Chains A and B, each alone.
Chain A
Amino acid sequence: MAEPNTVDPIHQFAVTDIVSLGDGAASFTNASLFMVLTVAAIVLYLLFSTSSRSIVPNRLQVVSEMLYEFVANMVRDAAGNEGMKFFPFVFSLFMFVLVANLFGMFPFFFTVTSHIIVTFALAMLVFLVVIIYGFWRNGPKFLRLFVPAGVPAYVLPIVVPIEVVSFLSRPISLSVRLFANILAGHITLKVFAGFVVTLGSLGFLGWLGALLPLTMTVALTALEFLVAALQAYVFAVLTSMYINDAIHPAH
């Protein structure tokens, strides 16, 4: 942080130790805190809202049921009924990303998903599940994933490496997409909000001018809520599509 009047849009992403266990050792940071809070919020909400199990659900239970059905339909559409054994996995990922994104929309909260190491860990989890389950279920036939049907044998030496690289690029694109969306959104929001503060310190004309970035900030906040939900949705959809590849490798 430099002068008090300038806005530092990156400062919000700083990871600070809360409980340190010594230099270089694992420590409990604000990122860890918000991951714990995210998981706790999800678990408490789902347990609380479904505890009554009423046939005529109240509002909280309706939201839980809608989330369940939304993800269930998504998995079923992408990976078929067999993919439903991965429903808990996809649902957990979806809820974690969604709630972490929405937590980031609170002022002064830390956005877990704006750190690529977090999103990359989630993406690697998906990637490893796909590989391990694919080999466990299909054996060596899983490698047919890299051999598109109907391709003549003499182009295979070119096509197979391309398919392999395309497959390996999945965790990168999955994680970079989520992280970049959230990071870019939060920085933009902060920059525009910073314009309001800087212009506001310039007197009356500044106040008039500050109306423009203020409108923009309000609009961007709405957009960020949409992005938060959409990115969780995209992450979950792609996860179920990749799981479909593990179940049916020949495409």
Chain B
Amino acid sequence: MNVPRETKRPESAGKREPLTSDLAARIARAQAGGRVQNEGTQRGAAKDFTGMSRALRLGSEFIAAIVVGAGAGFLLDQWLGTGPWLMLVLLLIGFAAGVLNVTRSAAAMNRASPPPPGSDLGPGDDEDDEDR
């Protein structure tokens, strides 16, 4: 998070420019770089967690869909009196929805943090990169 302080001013050291022009340049630089810097710090903070927060996010997405599917099926069955059938069907649909949720959030996570350039991604993955 700490931007390394510039101890030596580039170029201007010899020419003795007025302080204000240096300030203007610094403001311009900060405005240009502020956005990128913010994203960088967020990603740095998010990196510490990847393990637990990703697991909890994916797990909760997956289980929530199954629970909702089975619960909705159970309630519909009670209401319509159609034995266990709607619950079974909706349980499977919930399972599919859970997989859908997981692939979606995993794709979102991949988009949010692309691998740093030049990192070793293993042998070619031409076959299975549809979810990117």
The interface of chain A, by Cβ under 8 A from chain B, is 73, 161-163, 165-166, 168-170, 172-173, 176-177, 180-181, 226-227, 230-231, 234
CB distance from B131 to the nearest CB of A (A): 14
Interface of B is mostly: helix
Closest 3 CB pairs of A and B: A173-B64, A172-B64, A166-B97
Question: Which among A162, A168, A173, A231 has the highest number of chain B CB atoms within 10 Å?
Answer: A173
CB distance B68 to A168 under 8 Å? yes
Interface of A is mostly: helix
Question: Complex formed: what's the CA distance from A169 to B72 in Å?
Answer: 11
Chain B residues near A234 (CB, 8 Å)?
A: 53, 57
CB distance B93 to A173 under 8 Å? no
Q: Please choose the segment from B20-28, B41-49, B113-121, B122-130 that sits at the chain A interface, where 4 or more of its residues have CB less than 8 A away.
A: B41-49
Can you list 28 residue pairs at the A/B interface with Cβ under 8 Å?
A: A73-B38, A162-B97, A162-B100, A163-B97, A163-B100, A165-B69, A165-B93, A165-B97, A169-B61, A169-B67, A169-B68, A169-B69, A169-B94, A169-B97, A170-B64, A173-B63, A173-B64, A177-B57, A180-B56, A180-B60, A181-B56, A226-B45, A226-B49, A227-B53, A230-B45, A230-B49, A230-B53, A234-B53
Task: Indicate which residue in B49, B53, B67 contacts A172 across the interface (CB closer than 8 Å).
Answer: B67
Question: Which among B38, B49, B56, B72 has the highest number of chain A CB atoms within 10 Å?
Answer: B56
CB distance B60 to A168 under 8 Å? no
Question: Complex formed: what's the CA distance from A165 to B92 in Å?
Answer: 11
Given contacts A226-B48, A230-B53, 12 further A-B contacts (CB under 8 A): A73-B38, A161-B90, A162-B97, A163-B100, A165-B72, A166-B98, A166-B100, A166-B101, A169-B61, A173-B101, A231-B53, A234-B53
Chain B residues near A169 (CB, 8 Å)?
A: 61, 64-65, 67-69, 94, 97-98, 101
Question: Which among A162, A177, A234 has the highest number of chain B CB atoms within 10 Å?
Answer: A162
Complex: chain A residue closest to B67, CB-CB: A172
CB distance from A228 to the nearest CB of B (A): 12
Question: Complex formed: what's the CA distance from A170 to B72 in Å?
Answer: 14
B96 contacts the other chain (CB 8 A): yes
Task: Indicate which residue in B64, B72, B93 contacts A162 across the interface (CB closer than 8 Å).
Answer: B93
CB distance A176 to B93 under 8 Å? no
CB distance A173 to B61 under 8 Å? yes
Complex: chain B residue closest to A74, CB-CB: B42
Question: Which among A73, A166, A177 has the highest number of chain B CB atoms within 10 Å?
Answer: A166
Complex: chain B residue closest to A160, CB-CB: B93
Chain B residues near A73 (CB, 8 Å)?
A: 38
CB distance from A166 to the nearest CB of B (A): 4
Question: Complex formed: what's the CA distance from A170 to B60 in Å?
Answer: 10
CB distance from A65 to the nearest CB of B (A): 13
